[in-house]
Amino acid sequence: MNVASITEMWDRLTGTQPDPSRWLVGITALLALGAVLVRRVWHVTRNAVTIAHEGGHGLLALVTGRRLQGIRLHSDTSGLTVSKGRPHGPGMVLTAAAGYTAPPLLGLAGAGLLAAGHITALLWGATALLLVMLVMIRNAYGALTVIITGALFFLVSWLTKAQVQAAFAYLVVWFLLLGGSRPVAELQRTRRRDRSGSSDADQLARLTHTPVALWLLLFYAVALCSLVAGGRWLLQR
Mean pLDDT of the chain: 93
pLDDT tens track for 168-182: 999 999 999 999 999
Tell whether 214 is covered by a domain.
yes
Tell whether 4 is covered by a domain.
no
Tell whether 9 is covered by a domain.
no
What per-residue confidence (pLDDT) applies to 194? 72
Tell whether 11 is covered by a domain.
no
- What are 137's strand-pairing partners? 71
What per-residue confidence (pLDDT) applies to 6? 64
Segment holding 83, helix H or strand E: strand 79-84
Taking 80 as the threshold, does the pLDDT of residue 10 lie above it? no
Which amino acid type is present at position 94? L
Q: How many domains does the chain have?
A: 1
- Report how far apart, in Å, the C-alpha atoms of 105 and of each of 21, 33, 56 are: 25, 17, 10
Tell whether 196 is covered by a domain.
yes
pLDDT tens track for 91-146: 999 999 999 999 999 999 999 999 999 999 999 999 999 999 999 999 999 999 99
- pLDDT confidence of 13, banded at 50, 70, 90? low
Tell whether 98 is covered by a domain.
yes
Tell whether 114 is covered by a domain.
yes
- pLDDT confidence of 9, banded at 50, 70, 90? low
- pLDDT confidence of 1, banded at 50, 70, 90? low
Degrees, nearest 5: CA angle 38-217-202? 95
pTM of structure = 0.93
Which amino acid type is present at position 211? P
User: H-type helices in the chain, by residue range?
Assistant: 3-14, 22-37, 39-63, 90-115, 119-136, 140-159, 162-178, 182-193, 200-208, 212-236
Secondary structure of residue 85 in the 3-state scheme? coil
Tell whether 80 is covered by a domain.
yes
pLDDT tens track for 58-82: 999 999 999 999 999 999 999 999 9
Which residues constitute the domain of residue 157? 18-236
Ramachandran assignment for 21, one of left (phi > 0), alpha (psi -120 to 50 degrees), beta (any other): beta
